[in-house]
């Protein structure tokens, strides 16, 4: 900000009052004000105006409630309410998806049922079910739906092949010492030879590196990685369902 020594511009004084000057300019300003009473008066006046502004708007009046006939305000409020609802809905959906998996289970059930209904052709249905969470609710739902599907196909004599691939937390489903459904899985394997269980080799490797002793349930295969297995199956025209 340039300043003529003989004349101090209004802009310069305003910038001084608003604390917009750098250190050197501020020194110049103090120097000039110290030697000139008129400048001092102008600065005082500006500071007074600034204070007056703050004082005038320190407590602005609030809106009088229940004023009729202002459509725009109602629409603003509605927009805000809708926005808040959207946020709440979105957040709860997100957490439900992450923590309980209920939404995801429903989705899976829907997918499985649609598979069941649409299988009219003679080709055997091939499904790969991907479990990546150790949430017991989700694990149970995956087993329930798979079992009911296998059962339905068996009753109608239709061919079906299902492979459940587990990685991440989902590997817990297939660990002999951890799985809450070890016995059930054993029974399902016995009952349905067309059902296979695979665990992700990478996850097991990582667990072992951490010092965890991983013992899988009997008749459980190990894929090099879940991703590899899923890709392979997709190339073979399997239907992929993520739990």
Partner 1 sequence: MKILSLFSRSHGFHDQLQQSRVRLYRVAYSWSHDAALADDLVQETLSKALKNHGQLREPEMLNSWLFSILTNCWRDHFRQQREMEDIEEIEDYRCVHETTPEDEHAQTQIVGRVRGAVARLALGQRQVLTLVDLEEFSYVEVAAILEIPVGTVMSRLCRARRALKEMLQELAPVHSAQVSHIRRVK
Would you give the DSSP letter of residue 21? S
Residues 6+ apart with CB under 8 A from 132: 166, 167, 168, 169, 170, 226, 242, 243
CA–CA dist 210, 179 (Å, integer): 19
Q: Taking a C-beta distance cutoff of 8 angstroms, is the pair 220, 186 a contact?
A: no
Q: Write down the least CB distance from residue 170 to partner 1, Å.
A: 18
Q: Taking a C-beta distance cutoff of 8 angstroms, is the pair 30, 6 a contact?
A: no
DSSP codes, 42-80: HHHHHHHHHHHHHHHTSSPPPPPS---S-HHHHHHHHHH
Whose Cβ is closer to partner 1: residue 63's or residue 155's? 63
Whose Cβ is closer to partner 1: residue 30's or residue 76's? 76
Q: Write down the least CB distance from residue 209 to partner 1, Å.
A: 20
Whose Cβ is closer to partner 1: residue 84's or residue 212's? 84
Q: Taking a C-beta distance cutoff of 8 angstroms, is the pair 158, 125 a contact?
A: yes
Whose Cβ is closer to partner 1: residue 87's or residue 187's? 87
Residues that bind partner 1 (CB under 8 A): 10-11, 14-15, 18, 20, 45-46, 49-50, 52-57, 60-64, 67, 70, 72-73, 76-77, 79-80, 83-84, 87, 91, 94-95, 98
Q: Write down the least CB distance from residue 169 to partner 1, Å.
A: 14
Q: Report the side by side order of strands in the sheet with 160-166.
A: 220-223, 195-200, 160-166, 125-131, 239-242
Q: Write down the least CB distance from residue 4 to partner 1, Å.
A: 16
Whose Cβ is closer to partner 1: residue 90's or residue 159's? 90
Q: Write down the least CB distance from residue 196 to partner 1, Å.
A: 32
Provide the β-strand partners of residue 197: 164, 220
Q: Write down the least CB distance from residue 32 to partner 1, Å.
A: 18
CA 217 to mean position of chain CA atoms: 33
CA–CA dist 102, 62 (Å, integer): 45
Whose Cβ is closer to partner 1: residue 6's or residue 70's? 70
Whose Cβ is closer to partner 1: residue 84's or residue 187's? 84
Q: Write down the least CB distance from residue 50 to partner 1, Å.
A: 5
């Amino acid at each position: 900000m340039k300043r003529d020594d003989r004349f101090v511009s209004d802009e310069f004084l305003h910038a001084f009052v608003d604390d917009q000057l750098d250190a050197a300019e501020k020194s110049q300003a103090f120097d000039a004000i110290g030697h000139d009473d008129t400048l001092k008066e102008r600065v005082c006046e500006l500071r007074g105006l600034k204070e007056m502004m703050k004082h005038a708007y320190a407590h602005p009046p609030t809106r009088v409630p229940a004023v009729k006939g202002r459509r725009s305000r109602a629409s603003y409020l509605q927009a805000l309410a809708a926005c808040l609802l959207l946020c709440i809905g979105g957040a709860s959906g997100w957490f439900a998806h992450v923590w309980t998996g209920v939404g995801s289970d429903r989705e899976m059930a829907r997918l499985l049922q649609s598979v069941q209904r649409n299988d009219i052709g003679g080709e055997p249905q091939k499904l790969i079910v991907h479990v990546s969470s150790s949430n017991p609710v989700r694990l149970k739902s995956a087993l329930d739906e798979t079992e009911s599907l296998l059962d339905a196909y068996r009753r109608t004599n239709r061919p079906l092949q299902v492979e459940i691939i587990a990685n991440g937390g989902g590997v817990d489903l297939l660990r002999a010492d951890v799985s809450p459904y070890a016995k059930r899985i054993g029974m399902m394997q016995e009952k349905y030879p067309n059902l296979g269980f695979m665990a992700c080799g990478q996850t097991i490797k990582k667990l072992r590196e951490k010092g965890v002793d991983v013992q899988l349930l009997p008749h459980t295969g190990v894929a090099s990685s879940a991703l590899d297995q899923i890709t392979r199956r997709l190339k073979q025209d399997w239907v992929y369902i993520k739990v």
